[in-house]
Amino acid sequence: MARSGLAGAVRVARWADSALGPGRGSATADGKATLSDATAERAARELGLTVAQVRADWDTARLAGLVEVHGDSARPGWRLRAWDRDDSAVLRGWVALFDAWSLAHPEPADHEPSAVAEVVSAMPQVLSFLQLSAGPVPVDQLLDLLRQRVTELRTERCEVPYGPHPVPTTPSASAAPTAPAGRPGQGTPADASAVPTPRPGTAPAGAPAGPLDGTALAPAAGAGAAASAAADPAEAVGEAELAPLLDWALGALASVGALTYGDGQATLTPLGSWAVWVKLEQICVAAQSPAGNIEQSAEDMLRGCAQLRPNAARAEYRAWLAARPVGSAVTELLDAARGDDALLRGLAFEALRVVGAPAEPDVRAVVDEPALRPYALLWLAEHDGVDPEDAHEVLTREEATWLWVDTAAAVADHGEAPMLVRHLESALQPTVPALLDEVRAVGHPRTVQVLVALAAAHPDPALAKAVRRAAFQVHTGG
């Protein structure tokens, strides 16, 4: 199902690979990953499609990671290269499209961006309910659940729901009496923040009241609903606001193949049900984080894993990654690797090994950054199937020396003196003088600190003296 759903995108992506490769023309008009008019028309002619179909399939290919756009040029993504031989690449491509459903279908232009963002944030709960229902669900029921979730989001931000609010007036004799607390339809400030969560196999129950102003969340039946809407303008505004946004969201999810939508009901497709189940499973994995770092930033998570054994650290990486989108997780890990702490640099790339193939484009993009280059080259070599024991052979002598200094900096900052002495034995250079000469030449920013720490840790006085002399020469520029 994923292959058939992405067949058009694959066709356009392969056309782009053959027609828009190096020296064959430009893939985009403005560096924003949009096809130029001339390129779209050419693709339409050669593929027997309309220009609109080409543009739609091109956008799908980008969202699914089948093509990667760099400035004004396009190249095939790893998923396209593995398409015919690797079913997991196909499923990852579709899941990437599923995750980007809100970008696959233009959002309504006549709604506030904040309202659209709220609906996007609330849709995972709607999708979870569809998955648990295991069958068609009336749209009215989904609208009720969406309204509850949006109200919950606004409550968390302490926002008053949209719509006019009545001006307080002095109670009169004709005012309706207040119902006792706890009676259906009459919320109180004390329980206004309690928003019911649907249970497996059940319809979402209507919440008794909305936050702050008693806005009803669940539609009343018959004449009661009309009376409620007339009495509470905020409720009517909320329903009128969310209904078209839910229609847009369900239509967008249907366009990527996650569900079917029509006749007043929605049903997850088998592929959509599988994807939602995977997401729920990932949440369960994240909840089992052994060291409790899943809510931390990448940098803090890596620091928390520094003292763990390799298997325990990998379990922590998996839990942390499961709790966030892979794209943002990779970006955050690379940002942590760019910092001053060499230990975090190494750990970040260990976490990226857990990510695997989806991280390849981002890792390849940092190869030209001096601080990350050796780590990125080793990561890419291992990703391409090189034995980890032999991966160091892809590094030049200068790159290997730079990595030796960076690792020594991590040991100096976080390890013990004997570890730094043992690290000296791992150098490629056959003698200490040769090592010192090449260490001075690579220009690592931590060279002086590393040499000073090594001189202080080494038990051989003559060698320690030579290392201190080298540190002084680097420090003074000699």
Q: How high is the pLDDT of residue 375?
A: 95
pLDDT in tens, 237-249: 366 778 888 888 8
Question: If you write DSSP's letter for every residue of 42-77 in order, what string do you get?
Answer: HHHHHHT--HHHHHHHHHHHHHTTSEEEETTEEEE-
pLDDT tops 50 at residue 176: no
Q: Using alpha carbons only, what angle is made at residue 223 by residues 221 and 225, rounded to the nearest 5 degrees?
A: 50
146-150, 224-228, 356-360, 383-387: range with lowest mean pLDDT: 224-228
Say what the pLDDT of residue 302 is.
Answer: 93
- Beta pairing, strands 259-262 & 137-138: unpaired
Residue 44: is it exposed, middle or buried by C-beta count within 10 angstroms (0-12/13-18/19+)?
Answer: middle
Q: Which residue has the higher pLDDT, 383 or 89?
A: 383
Distance (Å, whole) CA 176 – CA 222 = 21
316, pLDDT greater than 60: yes
Task: For residues 64 and 98, give the distance between their C-alpha atoms in angstroms, rounded to a whole number.
Answer: 8
* Residues 456-474 as b or e (16 or more Cβ within 10 Å = b): ebbeeeebeebbbebbeeb
347/171: higher pLDDT: 347
Q: Distance between CA 308 and CA 337 in Å, rounded?
A: 19
Average pLDDT over every residue of 263-290: 75
More confident residue, 111 or 222: 111
Pull the structure tokens for residue 293. 């770092």
Strand duo 67-70 + 73-76: pairing: antiparallel
Q: What share of the chain in percent tops pLDDT 90?
A: 12
Question: What sign for the dihedral angle of Cα 291, 295, 301, 303?
Answer: negative
Nearest to 289 by CA among 323, 325, 253: 323
pLDDT one-digit tens code per residue, 18-41: 776 554 444 444 444 567 788 888
Q: What is the pTM of this model?
A: 0.49
Per-residue pLDDT at 338 exceeds 90: yes
Residue 292: both structure tokens together:
């409790």
pLDDT reading at 346 higher than 90: yes
Query: In which residue are the tokens 């054994």 written?
Result: 309
Report whether pLDDT(232) > 50: no
Find the mean pLDDT for residues 337-345: 91
Per-residue pLDDT of 43-89, as tens digits, reads 888 788 888 888 888 878 887 778 766 555 667 777 777 777 777 77
Is 363 exposed, middle or buried (CB count within 10 Å of its CB: 0-12, 13-18, 19+)? Answer: buried
How confident is residue 333, by pLDDT bands cut at 50, 70 and 90?
very high
What integer is the mean pLDDT of 101-123?
80
Confidence band of 187 (pLDDT split at 50, 70, 90): very low
For residue 261, the tally of other CB atoms under 10 A from its CB is: 18
- Quote the pLDDT of residue 458: 81
Instruction: Pick from 280-289, 353-362, 415-424 the range whose average pLDDT is largest.
Output: 353-362
Higher pLDDT, 113 or 402: 402
Residue 367 has pLDDT above 90, yes or no: yes
C-alpha 20: how far from its chain's center? 29
pLDDT at 162 over 60: no
Q: What does the pLDDT average to over 122-149?
A: 87
Q: 474 near 448, Cβ under 8 Å?
A: yes
Residue 220 confidence (pLDDT)? 35
- The burial class, CB within 10 Å (0-12 / 13-18 / 19+), for 237 is middle
What is the mean pLDDT of the segment spanning 389-414?
90
Query: What is the residue whose two structure tokens read 């924003």?
Result: 32
Count of CB atoms within 10 A of residue 438's CB?
Answer: 19
Q: Which residue has the higher pLDDT, 82 or 352?
A: 352
Do you know the residue count of the chain?
Answer: 478
Ranked by mean pLDDT, the top range of 190-199, 228-237, 301-310, 329-338 is 329-338
Distance CA(442)–CA(210), nearest Å, equals 64
**What is the average pLDDT across 151-175?**
57
Lowest-pLDDT choice from 69-73, 164-168, 302-306:
164-168
| Separation in Å, CA 79 to CA 89, 469, 472 | 5, 52, 51
Average pLDDT, the chain: 75
**449/316 Cα distance (integer angstroms):** 31
Beta bridge partners of 260: 267
Closest CA to 217 of 205, 203, 227, 200: 205
Range picked from 361-375, 406-420, 423-437 for highest mean pLDDT: 361-375
What is the distance between the alpha carbons of residues 180 and 429, in angstroms, rounded to a whole number? Answer: 84
Which tokens belong to 393? 């052979």
For residues 156-170, give the mean pLDDT: 54
* Token pair 């890990």 in the structure block, residue: 333
Asked if residue 368 has pLDDT above 60, the reply is yes
